[in-house]
A and B are shown apart, each in its own frame.
Chain A
Amino acid sequence: MEALVFISGLVALGGIYAMLAISLNVNGGMLGLWDLGVVGYFALGAYSYTLISTDAPYGLGLPMVIGVIASAVITGLLSLFIGFTALRLRSEYLLITTFAFAEIIRIVATNEDWLTNGNVGIFGLEKPFQEVIPGSIYMVFFAGLVLAALGGYYFFAQRLADSPMGRYMRAIRENEQVTQSIGKEIFKTKLKVFVLSSSMVGVVGCFYVWYMSIIAPNMFYSTVTFTVWTALVLGGIGNNKGAIIGAFVLIFVQEATRFIPVPTEYSTLLAGIRQLISGMLLILVLRFLPQGFIAEKFKSVERLFNLELKNSIVNEPDGGRRNVAG
């Protein structure tokens, strides 16, 4: 039983990072935006949820569902503002702006005691269906919940990737100038996708709060952003399945270091080792599998949309379109 709960915890954490990686793939992978703000949207979503759904003195005590919706909306609004200022500039500026934004969110959470209880954080947060599920197996249930949500994220992102919108996004990533030269308004599109991706990350923040049952600024260091990017690169940038696999592999490997038997006085050293192992994994994968575990797939549009041509090159009698041999 204990093992099952432990594994469930691992799966839940892996699933949370997998959702983050899929969200990042929407703008970082498919659209090619250099977004270093992941942990910022993550924190903003988590705090928005907590401050709306937790009871007084910290929260408003509204229903959980409203908290989840708020996490998406508030994150979306703030990223709209960031995107509006930074997406017009060169991609390097987006990188710096998003990184700075994430730092500011954490610093605000640390310093505004009246709002967030500062560094101490807010404890004992409620989890969904906590009243119905026995505490001893709650983590098993929660892992299922995370996997279900992950399935939803995957379905959504994959639908987007396979659609004309996905094609258009990849065109922007490949060449902005050429995309502009065929008459597309790329700024609007980038802004929309940026906001979508950030909101997706914001909602994952709720899952993280449920997982931890506490919220504190030290959960939101920039290492989270780098872990998610590493997961995406490991799995294969642009590929949603790859994002999932990359996230699980990375989280499992990182958590496995917990089993290295070391005396407690060396435990800080161990935290460093965890980063070191991620880094080595990344270098090895980039060396031997530069595209990641699963490279971005190129599905033929013909298959996706069931397109077919007649087997002869003829001018149709009605003067209609010319069909060509396949």
Chain B
Amino acid sequence: MLLVNDISKSFGGIQAVKDVNLEVKKGEIVGLIGPNGAGKTTLFNMISLFLSSSKGGVQFLGENISRETPERVVEKGLLRTFQTPVGFPKLTVLENLMVVPKQKGEGIFSTFLKRKSIVQHERENYYKVCALLEQFNLFQKRNELAENLSAAELKLLELCRQLMANPKIMLLDEPASGVNPVMLDKMVEHILRLREEGMTFLVIDHNLGFIYRICDRIYCLANGELIASGTPEEISNNERVKSVYLGVNENESA
């Protein structure tokens, strides 16, 4: 479904991502782990075309998407979330989601000329959003401003928002960070349920327990290079992965 070929990116002198290859098949949940600064987010930015790659390309559903715009890629069904899930702080939860579909009212002239069909469209949009919020236990908060939500709720809202765009594959950047254990279980449930319904995922996270629980396969990145890939079991026993993570821990405590 998603195929990344020999992709590289350097910022000035820093090589953030170096000749990375990876593949995600339909219906899979694939993990992407690696210490801070490994280049994981940069890789996401390139796949979703927020950043141009210095070298290499991305194929999605058999098409080369390297020359597309970010909007076109979303239209094709590739959605990504952000590491800091701020969303739209001064919009309510409802508005955060209702803004997603392409709508009749999104024009200056249509605002004044097509009032009737806008109201109709808003109603349908609203029902769709409410059903989604109900699934994610956010319905009670629908009229809260997003800035008043907890970190975990924001992560869920982020997931909901991208779901509103009808994705075929979702790239999640640290969906578990800042999420307490109870909410983490919920997050796992949601992701697994969505996969049952046919969704495909590529997930970045530092919480290895979480990654091992949900992923079929895992890639490990360090200093921009792919150093290992395999099943959760293979990865958890991989010496290079262990050493990279231990190395980081040593640095952090130093």
Q: Is B103 an interface residue (CB 8 A)?
A: yes
**Are A175 and B108 neighbours in the complex by a CB distance under 8 Å?**
no
**Quick one: which of A172-205 are within 8 Å of B by CB?**
174-175, 177-185, 189, 192-193, 196
Q: Is A241 an interface residue (CB 8 A)?
A: no
| Interface size in chain A (residues, C-beta < 8 A) | 40
Docked pose: A298 CA to B89 CA in angstroms: 12
User: What sequence of 0s and 1s flags, for each residue 288-326 of chain A, a beta carbon within 8 Å of any chain B beta carbon?
Assistant: 000000001010111001110100010000000111110
Q: Is B245 an interface residue (CB 8 A)?
A: no
**Are A182 and B90 neighbours in the complex by a CB distance under 8 Å?**
no
**Are A183 and B92 neighbours in the complex by a CB distance under 8 Å?**
no
At the interface with chain B, which of A8-16, A132-140, A158-166? A158-166
In the assembled complex, the CB of B127 is this many whole angstroms from the nearest CB of chain A, namely: 5
At the interface with chain A, which of B70-78, B211-219, B232-240, B246-254? B70-78
Measured between beta carbons, the chain B residues less than 8 angstroms from A181 are 48, 50, 70, 74, 79-82, 162
**Are A165 and B107 neighbours in the complex by a CB distance under 8 Å?**
yes
| Interface size in chain B (residues, C-beta < 8 A) | 52
18 contacts between A and B (CB under 8 A): A160-B108, A164-B99, A164-B121, A170-B90, A170-B91, A171-B95, A174-B91, A175-B88, A178-B161, A180-B70, A181-B81, A181-B82, A182-B79, A185-B69, A305-B123, A306-B119, A307-B122, A323-B127
User: What sequence of 0s and 1s flags, for each residue 118-155 of chain B, a beta carbon within 8 Å of any chain A beta carbon?
Assistant: 11011100111011011000010001010000000000
**Are B111 and A160 neighbours in the complex by a CB distance under 8 Å?**
yes
Docked pose: A196 CA to B112 CA in angstroms: 14
User: What sequence of 0s and 1s flags, for each residue 163-200 of chain B, a beta carbon within 8 Å of any chain A beta carbon?
Assistant: 01100000000000000000000000000000000000
Q: Is B30 an interface residue (CB 8 A)?
A: no
Looking at the complex, which one of B90, B94, B108 makes contact with A174 (CB distance below 8 Å)?
B90
Looking at the complex, which one of B70, B71, B88, B162 makes contact with A171 (CB distance below 8 Å)?
B88
Docked pose: A161 CA to B77 CA in angstroms: 30
Docked pose: A168 CA to B96 CA in angstroms: 10
Measured between beta carbons, the chain A residues less than 8 angstroms from B38 are none
Measured between beta carbons, the chain B residues less than 8 angstroms from A301 are 92, 94-95, 98, 122, 126
Docked pose: A156 CA to B50 CA in angstroms: 35
**Are B91 and A167 neighbours in the complex by a CB distance under 8 Å?**
yes
Q: Is B86 an interface residue (CB 8 A)?
A: yes
Docked pose: A271 CA to B3 CA in angstroms: 67
Residue of B nearest to A183 (CB): B74
**Are B130 and A182 neighbours in the complex by a CB distance under 8 Å?**
no
In the assembled complex, the CB of B149 is this many whole angstroms from the nearest CB of chain A, namely: 14
Measured between beta carbons, the chain A residues less than 8 angstroms from B118 are 163-164
Measured between beta carbons, the chain A residues less than 8 angstroms from B131 are 321-322, 324
Given contacts A175-B89, A322-B131, 18 further A-B contacts (CB under 8 A): A163-B111, A165-B106, A167-B99, A170-B88, A170-B90, A171-B91, A171-B95, A178-B82, A181-B79, A182-B162, A183-B71, A184-B71, A300-B143, A301-B92, A301-B94, A309-B130, A321-B127, A324-B131
Q: Is B27 an interface residue (CB 8 A)?
A: no
- Enumerate the 7 nearest inter-chain pairs by beta-carbon distance, A residue then B residue, closest first: A183-B74, A164-B105, A174-B88, A163-B111, A324-B134, A305-B122, A307-B126
Measured CB to CB, the residues of B under 8 A from A are 48, 50, 69-71, 74-75, 79-82, 86-92, 94-95, 98-100, 102-108, 110-112, 118-119, 121-123, 126-128, 130-131, 133-134, 139, 143, 145, 161-162, 164-165
Measured CB to CB, the residues of A under 8 A from B are 156, 159-160, 163-165, 167-168, 170-171, 174-175, 177-185, 189, 192-193, 196, 296, 298, 300-302, 305-307, 309, 313, 321-325
Residue of A nearest to B171 (CB): A181
Measured between beta carbons, the chain B residues less than 8 angstroms from A175 are 86-89
Measured between beta carbons, the chain A residues less than 8 angstroms from B130 are 309, 324
Docked pose: A296 CA to B95 CA in angstroms: 15
Measured between beta carbons, the chain A residues less than 8 angstroms from B94 are 300-302
Docked pose: A37 CA to B89 CA in angstroms: 28
**Are B111 and A313 neighbours in the complex by a CB distance under 8 Å?**
no
Residue of B nearest to A309 (CB): B130
Measured between beta carbons, the chain B residues less than 8 angstroms from A196 are 108
Measured between beta carbons, the chain A residues less than 8 angstroms from B164 are 182
Residue of B nearest to A301 (CB): B94
In the assembled complex, the CB of B232 is this many whole angstroms from the nearest CB of chain A, namely: 28
Docked pose: A193 CA to B108 CA in angstroms: 8
